[in-house]
A = this chain, B = another copy of it.
Amino acid sequence: MTVKIGVIGSGAIGRDHARRINHVLAGGRIVAVTDVNRAAAEAVKADVAPDAAIYATGEELVAAKDVDAVLVTSWGATHEQYVLASIAAGKPCFCEKPLATTAEGARRIVEAEAALGRRLVQVGFMRRYDAGYVALKEAIRTRTGAPIMVHAAHRNPTVPEAYVTPMAIHDTLIHEIDVLRWLLDDDYVSARVLFPRRAARSHAKLRDPQVVVLETRKGVLINVEIFVNCHYGYDIQCEIVGEDGTACLPEPMAVELRLGAKLQNDILTDWKDRFVAAYDVELQDFLKAAAAGTATGPSSWDGYVAAITSDACVAAQEREGAPVAIKMADRPSLYR
């Protein structure tokens, strides 16, 4: 069976997902596209989705008879409404992060889906589908013993002036917030943020770098360095320290060169290259579940937890070193 997909939001990521479904993955077909900018929708149709009908609104697209499932890749502030519409229509929905721009919004989605009693939503936390993180999770399960500490780093070569201190959480740490919880199969209970001196390349409205310290229910202590002006490359590091030993996230594949008095491997500089293969895997997973009328992978609950945790981390940025408690609503049985 081929799942017929409608895409809401045909910007860079929407276009890329449409291309994936039509040209890379098995089992899906783009049949509908909409965008606030109709020309953008037309262009995606012309370039990668010839069978797509163009809709005026996301709501119309969701309602369309031949649309089996929905990709929400529009502007973040509109995610909540389209995801709720998909749930109301009983259609599987893949939503790029954030699930909603507020924790309350995310909670409304959780409640709607829980009320339905069936999973329909997959949130676009692609790192769970990265082969490196998958291998790391397996190493935790079988090799390191139970985790006690995590040392992680999220480094960007540079960011634009518009990137201000809270974005280090909402746009950057958000990935670690989700993937570490999944790696550890655990929940956060507190956050604190420690700041060294500001890096010379940091902008006026950004305190960069910073170290976020998270504690989990099981007692794991996590420190994540966020450094978005690290200059040298885009670099994601994660070391798990367990009862029996440690495990590190694999470095991206690279040719080892001996050149110019250096033993050297290239480091990526563009974040888009780092998890590119994971996008294929997450969407293939979505297509497979959608064919069965449901969703798997990162859930609405995971999107809600990410929102709550992000809010706590931003609060912790203001309280410099002091811990901020992270409190969640009760987890509906659908997500247990």
Contact = CB atoms under 8 A, between A and B. Distances in A.
A256 interface: yes
A117 interface: no
Interface string A100-113: 00000000000000
Number of identical protomers: 4
Contact of A261 (B232, B249, B263): B232
Nearest to A28: B26
A225 B259 contact: no
Interface in A154-213: 192, 194-201, 209, 211, 213
A148 B253 contact: no
Contacts of A194: 213, 221
A258 B225 CA distance: 15
A130 to B, nearest CB: 10
A151 interface: yes
Interface string A236-257: 0000010111111111011111
Contacts of A263: 251, 254, 264-267
A64 interface: no
Contact of A196 (B139, B221, B247): B221
A189 to B, nearest CB: 12
Nearest to A147: B196
In this complex, the interface size class of chain A, counting residues with CB under 8 Å from chain B, is 35 or more
A144 interface: yes
Contacts of A257: 139, 143-144, 245-248
Contact of A247 (B197, B241, B256): B256
Interface stretch (A17-25, A76-84, A91-99, A299-307): A17-25
A207 to B, nearest CB: 11
Contact of A256 (B145, B233, B250): B250
Contacts of A195: 221
Residue among A136, A241, A262 with the highest chain B CB neighbour number at 10 A: A262
A148 B196 contact: yes
A248 B243 contact: no
Contacts of A213: 194
Interface in A213-234: 213, 215, 218-221, 223, 225, 227, 230-233
A248 B255 CA distance: 6
24 contacts: A21-B26, A26-B26, A132-B255, A145-B200, A149-B225, A151-B151, A194-B221, A195-B221, A196-B215, A196-B219, A211-B221, A227-B241, A231-B243, A231-B245, A232-B261, A233-B258, A244-B259, A245-B258, A246-B258, A247-B255, A248-B256, A248-B257, A261-B269, A321-B323
Given A24-B25, A146-B200, 20 more contacts: A23-B27, A24-B26, A26-B26, A131-B253, A132-B253, A139-B257, A148-B197, A148-B199, A149-B227, A192-B321, A194-B221, A201-B243, A230-B245, A231-B244, A245-B259, A247-B257, A249-B255, A262-B262, A263-B265, A264-B265
